[in-house]
């Protein structure tokens, strides 16, 4: 069985000059060892749950797979309790927090970039975009979006964040159609993990690329969010927080509409504003 997503612990609370003992809920964070064809590939710190979605979304973003048919099987520990149509789950002899993706013969065998890059990696932005240019395609201009609709999407996403309401410790990614209807929402301790889980869900459902969709993310919009969403074909990304300079450069390079500071009734548009009608 999957572990609780917000286990309760006892804490000491200080308020108005008084101490008290009380229960508190904290978000679960554990390492997930990803294997590719039985060989260790990467360790991801994540909130357990939807691990198959997370792995497949990450592998899709990194260009290791381009379709579900590239996956021969997925092996995951039995305690995860995950089962997906179209993916063979082999729960035998797998260790806890391990997931092994076995590729079909025609699939790529290694990622073309390091999967460990982060905001602290020190890679030059120009070099990073040149590297990404080999794999990404410029997004088309279909799917106009009413700008007045965007602020409401944050509240729609937040209303589905059950674990966040109890812990305050999770990021969320919500995928909406251009009419504002929620397609998929995922939470995770890592904002990029939440996006990978959404993309993995869409891959499993046979719905990638999502050429007429809006991705709303809590927190800031770093280059990882933009890169993953462009790979998934998503034309509009809206973040509650600020974008980074590399995220803006990447969105402009590939004609993605990037919205930041989506709060209340206001927001900033950093690229491709023509998609926002009105």
Q: Which residues are catalytic?
A: 121
Q: Which residues contact 167 (CB under 8 A, 6 or more apart)?
A: 6, 25, 26, 27
Of 152, 151, 117, the C-alpha closest to 132 is 117
CB 153 within 8 A of CB 179: no
Token representation of residue 26:
């904290």
CB 170 within 8 A of CB 188: yes
Angle at 188 between CA 235 and CA 178, to 5 degrees: 25
Token representation of residue 256:
């993605």
Angle between helices 191-204 and 223-231 (to 10 degrees): 10
Task: For 189, list phi and psi in degrees, rounded to 5.
Answer: -65, -25
């Amino acid at each position: 069985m999957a572990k609780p997503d917000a286990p309760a612990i006892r804490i000491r609370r200080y308020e108005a000059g008084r101490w008290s003992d009380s229960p508190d809920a904290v978000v679960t964070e554990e390492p997930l060892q990803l294997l590719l064809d039985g060989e260790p590939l990467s360790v991801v710190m994540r909130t357990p749950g939807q691990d198959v979605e997370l792995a497949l979304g990450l592998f899709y973003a990194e260009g290791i797979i381009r379709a579900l048919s590239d996956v021969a099987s997925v092996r995951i520990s039995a305690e995860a309790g995950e089962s997906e149509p179209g993916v063979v789950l082999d729960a035998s002899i797998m260790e806890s927090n391990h997931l092994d993706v076995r590729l079909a013969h025609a699939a790529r065998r290694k990622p073309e970039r390091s999967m460990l890059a982060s905001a602290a990696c020190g890679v030059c932005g120009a070099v990073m975009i040149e590297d990404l240019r080999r794999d990404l395609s410029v997004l088309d201009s279909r799917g106009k979006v009413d700008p007045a609709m965007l602020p409401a999407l944050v509240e729609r996403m937040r209303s589905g964040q059950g674990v966040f309401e109890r812990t305050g410790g999770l990021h969320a990614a919500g995928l909406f159609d251009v009419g504002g209807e929620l397609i998929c929402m995922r939470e995770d301790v890592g904002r990029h993990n939440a996006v990978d889980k959404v993309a993995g869900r869409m891959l499993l459902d046979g719905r990638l690329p999502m050429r007429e969709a809006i991705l709303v993310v809590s927190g800031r919009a770093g280059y990882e969010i933009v890169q993953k969403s462009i790979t998934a074909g998503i034309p509009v990304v809206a973040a509650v927080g600020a974008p980074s300079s590399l995220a803006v450069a990447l969105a402009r390079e590939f004609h993605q509409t990037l919205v930041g500071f989506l709060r209340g009734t206001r927001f900033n548009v950093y690229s491709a504003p023509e998609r926002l009608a009105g």
